[in-house]
Structure 1
Amino acid sequence: MSAILFVIIGLIGLVVGGEMLVRGAVSAAKRFGISPMVIGLTFVGFGTSTPELVTSLQAALAGSSGIAIGNVVGSNIGNILLILGITALIAPVAVDPKAFQRDGSVVAVATLLCLAAVLTGQIKQLMGVGFVSALIAYLVLTLWSEKRAGGTPAATVYEAEAEAVAGPETTLGVAIVIAVVGLVITILGARFLVSGAVSLAQAAGLSEAVIGLTIVAIGTSMPELVTAIIAVRKGQGDVAIGNVLGSNIFNILGILGVTAIVQPMAVPAEIIRLDIWVLCAATLVLIGFARSGWTISRREGGLFVVGYAIYLGVLLAL
């Protein structure tokens, strides 16, 4: 019971802390005069992925590489099949062709890099450096190209992402305090979650990787779900899919990269055997659905959710 309680407290902490962190950071960025496009690309992307980063770091440092890697792989699978699926069931998600062409391609490349790293059986520091360097290059090139072109569809999506998580109308000092408190709550929530997840895995006879791929991954992805639902209810479906693409890029290149730099990790055999291939398949299907009519329909959203349910069933049955 204590393990379950720790997991619940941890998940609540991650959701509340992550939400406070993003909204406080966005509000502070606006007070500093940072453009909505930059806020949407960086602050929103980094902010919604903070729960995954903190959780994976703490898990890796605790020697639970299954939770650390499973969290990244499972979050990306959940982002596509569960979060985008639920979002499309609420309302069809419009896809901007030009915005998707670049970010969709980067997601595909990042997923292939993740596959290559996982198949080696060891996520090493050098790989982490390469991942983080690729993320920095992506951000710099994106900001440079968008500022140079001006008013592109992709820039519009980033600006809408910033608006979708608009921070409170308050002073700079209060906004910073909200962000800092959110970060502290997120860190404490991750500590509770990792501790409870390890104990729960031991008590239930499940591997840490399975716990990381399911409970931990779903819990740390809640900020993305909240952002996507808010966006689609406002009729901004392109923001919903942009948030998923951005989160998947940050999860692989940023979170897995930073975690590997801090603590190299051995890849659990079950992730090599099943989950990394599910991630590749989900990414491929996402690209196919998005390019088919440039809309993720309710039917396709339903297929995503059913696919996720089947995946969980197979995962827990093995």
Structure 2
Amino acid sequence: MLIASAAILIGFIVLVWSADLFVAGAASMAENMGMSPILIGLTIVSLGTSAPEVLVAITAAMSDVGELAIGNAIGSNIANVGLVLGLTALIAPLPVHRARLRRELPTLMAITIACGLLLLDGKLDLLDGLLMLGALAFILFEMINSQSHDPDANEEAGVEDLPHMQPVRAWVSFIIGLVLLIASSKLLVWGASKVAIELGVSQLVIGLTIVAIGTSLPELAATMASALKGHGEIALGNVVGSNIFNLLGVMSLPGMFAVEYLEPMVLIRDYASMTGITLLLAAVLYLSLLRPKCRNEGGNIHVGRSIGALLLAAYALYYYFLYLTA
């Protein structure tokens, strides 16, 4: 148990560090080859920050513990809304552009409902995985096509602090980051599997808790740092984008390797809770549009401390429900 717990801790630390190294190297390589900053931000940086979840999902699927990957995707989405947005909003109110409420948030709600319908038969298979990945490719194409013509896109895509490395250093960072990502994901999945066996709980529960929180910590740190620096306007966009990718790019992966049969509680408890906290976020944001004191002169709104406390309470309530039923 002690060795497995140490493996999880070391795996998380190396996973996060190697993901940063991998993204920095890949982004610098793309820049050195003449790729524009907006495309780097919307593709390499955005997808690279989800590298931990992707590598964990692939490793779990290949290790025949696909339910851990599914739990990671669902649990990370719950943590992103309840923990990341909730805790950050308590520290500093987060401004929300109306464009988020017109485009990204409705897209996330539609994807959440659509993926839930795919899973109603109690399994995740190759067809489900291909449909999810196809939807992800379409969304990425539309996002790049629309935001590449937006004058404020570079700021919204988070590309103001792109790394700049010489070609040799970029390649070294990319290769070392990739190797460490693979190794640390294997170590993390091994440790999580051992802990699940020792505690007598399912891989799904470990994915929903330990792995989900661990892979959400980078988003929490980045979002809080952005808010404290006065760039809180990108927080909701980062969370929505990450949740879309978790559903379509991470949860789909186990079905690409083998048919994954879901426990009944996945839909009744976990997916329903994820859908509920997503709809809760949407409801409070849309209702804020009706309150003049929540809007600024440009018609934009903000996620205040009361909303942050509500999201954190919903997050805590889910974990209490999980504790009662796991």
- Answer yes or no: same fold by TM over 0.5: yes
Partner Cα separation in structure 2 for residue 295 and residue 190 of structure 1: 36
User: How high is the TM-score relative to the length of structure 1?
Assistant: 0.92
User: How high is the TM-score relative to the length of structure 2?
Assistant: 0.90
Percent sequence identity over aligned pairs: 36
Q: Which residue of 1 aligns with 2:196?
A: 201
2:66–2:254: 8 Å Cα contact kept in structure 1?
no
Partner Cα separation in structure 2 for residue 158 and residue 262 of structure 1: 35
Q: Which residue of 1 aligns with 2:49?
A: 48
Partner Cα separation in structure 2 for residue 184 and residue 317 of structure 1: 39
Q: Which residue of 1 aligns with 2:38?
A: 37
1:40–1:158: 8 Å Cα contact kept in structure 2?
no
Say whether 1:237 aligns with 2:232.
Answer: yes
Whichever residue aligns with residue 159 of structure 2, its letter is A
Q: Which residue of 2 aligns with 1:312?
A: 319
Bigger drift between 52-61 and 222-231 goes to 222-231
Q: Deviations over 1:29-52 (max 9, x none)?
A: 333332232222222221111111
Q: Which residue of 2 aligns with 1:191?
A: 186
Partner Cα separation in structure 2 for residue 69 and residue 255 of structure 1: 8
Change (3 A) 1:36 1:259: farther
Partner Cα separation in structure 2 for residue 259 and residue 243 of structure 1: 24
Partner Cα separation in structure 2 for residue 114 and residue 42 of structure 1: 23
CA deviation after TM superposition for structure 1 residue 263, in Å: 3.1
Partner Cα separation in structure 2 for residue 139 and residue 130 of structure 1: 14
CA deviation after TM superposition for structure 1 residue 216, in Å: 0.6
2:72–2:211: 8 Å Cα contact kept in structure 1?
yes
Q: Which residue of 1 aligns with 2:302?
A: 295
1:52–1:221: 8 Å Cα contact kept in structure 2?
no
Rg bigger for which structure?
2
Say whether 1:150 aligns with 2:141.
Answer: no
Partner Cα separation in structure 2 for residue 252 and residue 82 of structure 1: 18
Change (3 A) 1:178 1:100: farther
2:41–2:154: 8 Å Cα contact kept in structure 1?
no
Note the residue ranges of structure 2 that are not aligned, 5 or more in a row.
Answer: 289-293, 295-300
Whichever residue aligns with residue 195 of structure 2, its letter is L
2:57–2:254: 8 Å Cα contact kept in structure 1?
yes
Q: Which residue of 2 aligns with 1:84?
A: 85
Q: Which residue of 1 aligns with 2:297?
A: none
Partner Cα separation in structure 1 for residue 246 and residue 47 of structure 2: 9
Partner Cα separation in structure 1 for residue 224 and residue 111 of structure 2: 25
Change (3 A) 1:173 1:207: same
Change (3 A) 1:39 1:140: same
Whichever residue aligns with residue 85 of structure 1, its letter is G
1:85–1:305: 8 Å Cα contact kept in structure 2?
yes
CA deviation after TM superposition for structure 1 residue 157, in Å: 4.5
Whichever residue aligns with residue 310 of structure 2, its letter is L
Whichever residue aligns with residue 306 of structure 1, its letter is A
Q: Which residue of 2 aligns with 1:162?
A: 159
Q: Deviations over 1:138-185 (max 9, x none)?
A: 1112222233x432x5x25434x1225x32x32122123212222222
Q: Deviations over 1:20-70 (max 9, x none)?
A: 222332333333332232222222221111111111111122121220110
2:154–2:160: 8 Å Cα contact kept in structure 1?
no
Q: Which residue of 1 aligns with 2:122?
A: 121
1:178 pairs with one of 173, 176, 179: 173
Change (3 A) 1:281 1:50: same
C-alpha RMSD of the superposition: 1.8
Bigger drift between 305-314 and 80-89 goes to 305-314
* 3-state DSSP of counterpart to 1:94: strand
Q: Deviations over 1:234-289 (max 9, x none)?
A: 21112111111111111111122233223331112221220101100111111123
Whichever residue aligns with residue 250 of structure 1, its letter is F
